[in-house]
Amino acid sequence: MAVLKILRMGHPLLRMRSEKVDDPASNEVKRLVSNMISTLNRAKGAGLAAPQVGVLKRVVIFRVPKERIKEERNSNIVDLTVLVNPKIKILTKKKEMGWEGCLSVPGLRGIVSRFYSVRYSGYTTDGKKIIREARGFHARVVQHECDHLDGVLYPMRMKDMSSLSFTDQLDPEASDLVQARLDTAGSIR
Ligand code: NI
Per-residue pLDDT of the chain (189 residues; tens, 9 = 90+): 899 999 999 999 999 999 999 999 999 999 999 999 999 999 999 999 999 999 999 999 999 987 776 666 666 789 999 999 999 999 999 999 999 999 999 999 999 999 999 999 999 999 999 999 999 999 999 999 999 999 999 999 999 999 999 999 988 776 776 766 666 554 433
How many angstroms separate the CA atoms of 54 and 48, rounded? 11
Which backbone phi and psi does 140 adopt, to 5 degrees? -65, -45
- CB distance 39 to 82 below 8 Å: no
DSSP 116-177: SEEEEEEE-TTS-EEEEEEEHHHHHHHHHHHHHHTT--GGGG-S-GGG-EEGGG--HHHHHH
Give residue limits of the domains in the chain.
12-185
> Within 13 Å, how many C-alpha atoms sit on residue 168's CB side?
2
For residue 183, what pLDDT is reported?
A: 62
For residue 6, what pLDDT is reported?
A: 98
CATH topology for 12-185?
Answer: Peptide Deformylase (3.90.45)
* Residues comprising the chain, all counted: 189
Distance 45 CA to ligand 1 centre (A): 9
Distance 148 CA to ligand 1 centre (A): 7
Distance 48 CA to ligand 1 centre (A): 6
Residues around the ion ligand 1 (C-beta < 5 A): 102
pTM (predicted TM-score): 0.91
Distance 145 CA to ligand 1 centre (A): 6
- Nearest to 128, CA basis, from 90, 83, 173, 169: 83
Catalytic residues: 145
DSSP state of 66: H
